[in-house]
A and B are shown apart, each in its own frame.
Chain A
Amino acid sequence: MQIKSPEFKENARIALKDVGLQKALGNLKAGFPEKRAIAVQRMPEFHDMRDEARDLKNHILENLDIYLEQFESKVTENGGHVHWCRTSDDARKTILDICQQVDAKTVTKGKSMVSEEINLNEYLEENGVQPIETDLGEYILQLRNDHPSHIIAPAIHLNLEDVSEAFHEHHKKPKSDDPAVLMQEAREELRTKFVNADVGITGANFLVAETGSTIIVTNEGNGDLTQTLPKTHIVITSIEKVVPTLEDMTLFLRLLARSATGQEFTVYNTLSTGPRREGDADGPDNFHVVLVDNGRSDMVGGELHDMLRCIRCSACMNHCPVYGAVGGHAYGWVYPGPMGSVLTPQMVGIEKAGNLPNASTFCGKCEEVCPVRIPLPKLMRHWRTNEFEKHLSPKAVRWGIAGWGFFAKRPKLYRQMSNTSNWFMRTMAGKKGRINSLPLAGGWTDFRDMPAPSGKTFMQQWQKKQGDKS
């Protein structure tokens, strides 16, 4: 996926004027956050579980190598294979290799953000393997040659009309805007694809070290068909997803469902433990786990360490007023919203993604809802500091801060400057008490009035009062 994060401002401007997108975003706001709130309210121990999950994740990250090795040895014991991939490129090649070994023509795919991260679909297509997305949202996007704008509801930026249009064009059936009819159409189309696929690729929500299992959670059941029907199942996932035990996994599953959609549990929770064994009713002959690093191990122990706790629940973006205003595509890469504003600079470089950690008011709502208590504003601020120290911040910002800082560090001069600006603004406002347009403050006065100072500065008035008293 092409990186469009440098154009964030422009993307945002366009998004704000996109009527269809704004309508779709309105639905999001009324959906996930309200459902989460109800789910949280119904579970008094929810916040204690968040502490527990945070601590457990921290423990896992401290022992990441141990748990990953345990996971690998269990997968191998079960007859599967683990592939360690340092970069996106390694991961793509490994997957293509496996596909070519079994002479695959088509692969079905469950939803996986890591697969987006490594740009898998394009790569497979270029190399003669046809990927077919089976998550309904992803399927719609694939028809439209579009990308996810949300990590669990990839097509959240679309409305029913868009889906109806895309289906009509590709399925060559009469146009319908009845969701049930559209669902049936998708089902019919996908059924044959499931049966004919040579390889099934899914992501993983968690990897269980004690059993060598991977798990995916879906609300559509497409994951099951993707991984049980083809002869080869490839799990594409990343290293921070490992948890020690099945019991630990359930802690995260309970938090994940509630934080994401407000469900108590996701509808389908599908575990894969190696290839089909003798006597098993179904399952693949070959089982591969492709473990992607892609910059994650560099985060261990560093300033962004906390970000590795992320369980990809999407609560941070569902509750983010910036995401809610501009949607996911404006962020210009795979991961949108607050979590993306922390991860994207790490994965594509702060030079390209500098806008993302800046486009936040630090309102803190994301941290408030994050099930594993990731201090997202603090991590975004880390990127701003990094950017500033590398002299990458825009000149206007650097000069502005330098000029302002000069005065802020000299109280006497600062007073004089305040008095002058205060007088200037009051004079500009005249009798009105506010200013419609102010030099150097277009960003403010394009959209709102600037209230004028309601008198001399507090310090001037205070000092005068103290003088009068003595």
Chain B
Amino acid sequence: MSVNSSPIRVGLFVTCLVDMFRPSVGFATVKLLEQAGCTVEVPEAQTCCGQPAFNSGDRETTRDIAKQTIAAFDGYEYVVGPSGSCIGMLHYFTDLFDEADPWKARAEDLKKRSFEITSFLVDVLDFDQVLASFDQKVTYHDSCSGLRQLGVKSQPRKLLGKVDGTELAEMPEAETCCGFGGTFCVKYPDISNRMVSNKTGFADETGAQTLLGGDLGCLLNMAGKLKREGKAMEARHVVEVLAGMTDTPAIGEADYDLGKQL
């Protein structure tokens, strides 16, 4: 697609974890979208996709958050976010309303317009003009919702293939859950710990310097484990590499912004 055709108006779904923990992932997403010819806006009325409530069985809170999110993203041609699981949640909004409820149709409409970033770039925009270099051996973890709900598998790999200097070494069981699971990791910490230990073990076997993924929840989990285990491997969101924004420290590495006041 040509960068000069009339711009596509995209609403960025930041996701609460990116907002809180890794703003650079948000900026990398914006940069990629702009490179692909989109104009990006960030609706202020967004908070979280509602997964904590949905997966804890609190339908009412989930519905309220769904309505707020649907309204916040009204009118955007596309809604794009750097997370398979949060965009997947936006798709689940359709399950929250009865056929007769006017919100049902609005939820269906949002579902059609919302995409995980790598799948949006590849499947919708057919974008491949990646302008980045990252001279490292990397490995890639497929986060569950992106993989199984949204079919995100080849897209990040295809884009990574365009990055100068990056070599992808696949780990065994790349598709096995890392044990994050939202509240699961604090409700069942022992089981979660076993799962993430398996994951960091497999990632480490590849000899990669950096572990990449497309969901910050999983990445915080895996990065936290890698650091606790004293492993040298670093962790980053894939968009940081694709956008050429790897000059900042990796996840859980030294805080460059320390001391800046609120």
Contacts and interface: CB of A to CB of B under 8 A. Distances in A.
B207 interface: no
A11 to B, nearest CB: 11
B112 to A, nearest CB: 21
A9 to B, nearest CB: 7
A418 B65 CA distance: 17
Contacts of B59: 385, 388-389
A402 B180 CA distance: 22
B144 A431 contact: no
B144 A363 contact: yes
B177 A321 contact: yes
B228 A447 contact: yes
A419 B262 CA distance: 7
Interface residues of B, number: 76
Contact of A411 (B47, B55, B224): B47
B100 interface: no
Contacts of B260: 455-456
Contacts of A448: 193, 196, 221, 224-225, 227-228
Given A421-B20, A458-B26, A16 B194 contact: yes
Interface stretch (B102-110, B121-129, B155-163, B181-189): B181-189
B186 A401 contact: no
A429 B251 CA distance: 13
Nearest to A423: B262
Given A321-B195, A361-B177, A393-B57, A454 B65 contact: no
B57 A381 contact: yes
Interface string B36-47: 000000101111
Range for the number of chain A residues in contact with chain B: 35 or more
A409 B68 contact: yes
Given A12-B191, A444-B186, A459 B148 contact: no
A359 interface: yes
Nearest to A359: B188
B16 interface: yes
A448 to B, nearest CB: 3
Q: What secondary structure prevails in chain A residues at the interface with B?
A: helix
B21 A453 contact: yes
A322 B183 contact: no
Contacts of B64: 405, 409
Interface in B38-89: 42, 44-48, 50, 52-59, 61, 64-65, 68
A458 B27 contact: yes
Contacts of A430: 255, 258
Given A409-B61, A409-B68, A451 B190 contact: no
B177 A449 contact: no
B258 to A, nearest CB: 6
Contacts of B54: 381
B154 interface: no
A397 B55 CA distance: 11
Nearest to B95: A378
A368 B145 CA distance: 12
A383 B179 CA distance: 21
B63 to A, nearest CB: 10
Contacts of A454: 21-24, 248-249, 251, 255-257
Contact of A404 (B26, B52, B149, B187): B52
Given A321-B195, A447-B225, A448-B228, A426 B177 contact: no
A325 B194 contact: yes
A95 interface: no
Interface in B241-262: 248-249, 251-258, 260-262
Contact of B252 (A393, A419, A421, A449): A449
B258 A397 contact: no
Contact of B48 (A383, A408, A423, A426): A408
A352 to B, nearest CB: 17
B195 A325 contact: yes
Interface in B206-258: 220-221, 223-225, 227-228, 248-249, 251-258
B192 interface: yes
Given A322-B191, A384-B57, A444-B186, A458 B23 contact: yes
B176 interface: yes
A363 B262 contact: no
B190 A12 contact: yes
Interface string A424-467: 00100111111000000111101111111111111101100000
Contacts of A12: 188, 190-191
B46 A411 contact: yes
B32 interface: no
Contact of A360 (B27, B42, B68, B184): B184
A364 B58 CA distance: 20
B205 interface: no
Contacts of B249: 433, 454
13 contacts: A322-B195, A325-B195, A363-B148, A363-B177, A364-B145, A401-B52, A401-B61, A411-B45, A418-B20, A419-B262, A431-B254, A450-B220, A455-B255
Q: Which 10 A-B residue pairs are closest in the complex by CB-CB distance?
A: A361-B181, A388-B57, A451-B252, A443-B186, A448-B224, A384-B57, A363-B177, A458-B23, A455-B257, A385-B57
Given A384-B56, A405-B53, A452-B255, 15 more contacts: A321-B177, A325-B191, A359-B188, A361-B144, A361-B184, A361-B192, A364-B144, A381-B57, A389-B57, A431-B254, A451-B220, A451-B224, A452-B252, A454-B248, A454-B255
Interface of A: 9, 12-13, 16, 321-322, 325-326, 358-365, 367-368, 381, 383-389, 393, 397, 400-402, 404-405, 407-409, 411, 414, 418-423, 426, 429-434, 441-444, 446-459, 461-462
